[in-house]
Structure 1
Amino acid sequence: MRLHVDQRHERVLELVRERGSLRVAELASELGVSAVTLRRDVEALAAQGRVQRLHGAVVWPGDTTTEVRERPSGAEGAVIGMIVPTTNYIFADIVRGAREAVAAQGGRLVLGVSGYVDTEDSVQADHLLSGGAEGLLVAPSWFGGVPENGQEKWLLEHDVPAVLVERLAQPGNPAAVLDRVRTDRAHGAAVAVGHFANLGHRRITAVLQEGPHANQITAGYLAAVQALGLDVDRTAAPTVREHGDYEASVDYLVDAVKKRGVTAALVHSDEDAIVLVPRLQACGIRVPDDLALIAYEDEVAGLSDVPLTAVAPPTRSVGELAAKLLLERLAERRSGQQPGPRQHLDLLPELRVRSSCGGESIAE
């Protein structure tokens, strides 16, 4: 039977009085409520001066228990929750980088996977926090990479530090105050366009997957086309396709090459680019002879029959730096320090040049 809030408060007081101090996660489990609910109870009791709250523990007023006194002042031994939409593609390396950074400080990373279902993000968060996670690394399932229609609300309801990973909240959105670490994908697209231009290509296009990164890549592509003075009227605009719609992508590229004189294309992702190469060849378009290709992402680009030049996001570094930033926030909390300025870190991808671009200049 679920206890009324007043009964729950009395039970919290009884348990803390008996034991001197308890972890919030332990209390939540013992009372059969979520960690979020228990934290609200503790906040209410602390505001009345009936308990003390110390870095994830609940303490009887005036009690300095051994457990609390001996807690490390840094973030050593921290339990970090991480929520990702998948453990495939770029997230495999991101998770690996985060796990290694947490382990290096004696902590433990606990993983939750949302499967790109936005309502699952909050479910995973509640589960991780009730299990003792003290902070969250989160790559929310925001389809466009940014929150819409209040998708960020759950993230702001938890009284734990959180760092966005490969996501951002627009200026003015409440979640814009959160720390974040991500790849500057617009920069990567601009580098790709610049490489094409250096090889002499003037008519360039892009074929992109729908999803969290399409807007950034498109923005970088268009900005570079304009900055380099490419003839926009003769340059095919980028097209965004559903993942797996290879026939539409092939039709688009064949038309761009044969009818508009396009000689180079940026393709997101490298998996899609590998699928497209033989299909283009079957249509009489050879890579790189007739069409130079750069893939966005470098998970498997080098394994293609024609090794693909690729924009490579610093995935492991994204996970590592996000974890280190979160650990710093936890250390500040434990030591009672005033939190430092929130940070928005954009990491630059690199271009890894292989065979798919060729090297000869293209005539005007």
Structure 2
Amino acid sequence: MRESGADRRQRILAMVETRGEVRVTELAAELGVSVVTARRDVEDLARAGRLRRGHGVARSLVPARQAPVPDEPSRGVVALVVPERHAYLNEVVHGARAALEEASVRVVLHPAPQVAGAERPIVQRVLSGEDVRGLLIAPRWRTAADEEADDRWLADVDVPLVLMEREPRAGSALHSRDSVYTDHWYGMRLAVEHLVSLGHRRLVLAARDDSPTARALRAAFATACQARPQVQDWAVVLSAPDAGADPDVAPHEPSLAETMRERGATGVIMHGDIDALILVQRLAEAGLAAPRDYSVVAYDDVVASLGSPPLTAVAPAKAEVGRLAAELLLERLGRGPAAGPARRVAVLPELTVRTSARMNV
């Protein structure tokens, strides 16, 4: 007779309580089920408070000193280095922290000041001090020159390292290190295709220009528009006065409202959410209302739903980026820093349709 799910989960619980910790792959093999089934059973038991789920393992609720795991190397501390006051990365940090804490790994957060090169002295200091075994890092990289300056020393860090929400440049030394990031090219394609499907032929991107994400979105927008013969005209403007690569230099370009009127644009993509809400308000003050006069898609989707109207938005899976980065680092810590080739993981964002975009008739 085929074993019921309840019986199987009881067997899992007994195995975990006996051994203290069991890999999900071992559970699957011993139970004669798929890894997916075993993982689902472990998740069900963890939600019920019967055991603890770690990175690829199930752990007993009995304290570790009563259920030791022989020969398991200490994972020490994982340092998390991100720019200070960077709202976009908050969800990434939460996703990484949750995965690390679930694996019983201590996390220490090191915010980097808003100056070029701030990450290097922080990394050097933390690696020379406490028992840091691994590093999760999202450098600010306001400009491409900042990124180039960090390339070699960051690639040479002598502990397992995973870049979060940063895609290494083609040909850079950081191609030798692991990275997990949002596929912003795909996200921008979703936004452009949505507006094109609604009949919009003249598009404007209002975006920042002071981060790797902003630079990727600008490049992706140009590529997406050039690839679609339906798009008759497109333009890019800064989303905010301080959104340029050099915040001390005032932009010399038309406003979004001026650009839209000059170009006859009816479709606008705005990066990111807060800037989008401000821009929609300013356009209304200039006599342009969404979706009456134009359709808008925001990029980020943290507060886009709170707009008036609620904004259609591309939503990067930022918490998932953090979680996957942490799990990749945990794998390195378990298998050793030289285990396997470097991996680059691109996470696809999704489009959430609301009422800020409509057919252009």
What range is the shorter-chain TM-score in? 0.7 to 0.9
Q: Is the 8 A contact 1:166 1:183 kept in 2?
A: yes
Q: Distance in 2 between matches of 1:306 and 1:249?
A: 30
Q: Report the CA distance shift for 1:244/1:110 in structure 2 as closer, same or farther (over 3 A).
A: same
Q: Distance in 2 between matches of 1:138 and 1:302?
A: 29
Aligned equivalent of 1:131 = 130
What is the aligned length?
287
Q: Gaps (5+ residues) in structure 1?
A: 1-69
What is the percent sequence identity of the aligned residues? 34
Secondary structure of 1:355's aligned partner:
coil
Q: Report the CA distance shift for 1:249/1:295 in structure 2 as closer, same or farther (over 3 A).
A: farther
Secondary structure of 1:329's aligned partner:
helix
Q: Distance in 2 between matches of 1:73 and 1:226?
A: 57
Calculate the TM-score normalised by the size of structure 1.
0.72
Residue range with higher mean Cα deviation, 246-255 or 125-134: 246-255
Q: Report the CA distance shift for 1:135/1:77 in structure 2 as closer, same or farther (over 3 A).
A: closer
1:292 to 292, 295, 316: 295
Q: Gaps (5+ residues) in structure 2?
A: 1-67, 245-249
Q: Deviation per CA, 1:101-156: give whole Å up to 9, x if none.
A: 11111111111111232322122212322121111001112224685443223323
Whichever residue aligns with residue 336 of structure 2, its letter is R
Aligned equivalent of 1:207 = 206
- Structure number with larger C-alpha Rg: 1
Q: Distance in 1 between matches of 2:252 and 2:285?
A: 14
Q: Deviation per CA, 1:152-171: give whole Å up to 9, x if none.
A: 23323431011111113223
Aligned equivalent of 1:189 = 188
Secondary structure of 2:168's aligned partner:
coil
**TM-aligned CA deviation for residue 258 of structure 1:** 2.3
- RMSD of equivalent CA atoms: 2.6
Aligned equivalent of 1:352 = 352
Aligned equivalent of 2:286 = 283
Secondary structure of 1:323's aligned partner:
helix
Calculate the TM-score normalised by the size of structure 2.
0.73
**TM-aligned CA deviation for residue 187 of structure 1:** 1.1
Secondary structure of 2:336's aligned partner:
helix
Whichever residue aligns with residue 133 of structure 1, its letter is V
Residue range with higher mean Cα deviation, 304-313 or 317-326: 304-313
1:1-364 correspondence to structure 2 within 5 Å = 77-129=75-127, 130-144=129-143, 148-212=147-211, 213-231=213-231, 234-240=232-238, 244=242, 251-333=254-336, 339-357=339-357, 359=358, 361-363=359-361
Secondary structure of 2:159's aligned partner:
coil
Q: Is the 8 A contact 2:239 2:279 kept in 1?
A: no
**TM-aligned CA deviation for residue 239 of structure 1:** 2.4
Q: Is the 8 A contact 1:146 1:170 kept in 2?
A: no
Q: Distance in 1 between matches of 2:286 and 2:224?
A: 29
Q: Distance in 2 between matches of 1:255 and 1:288?
A: 18
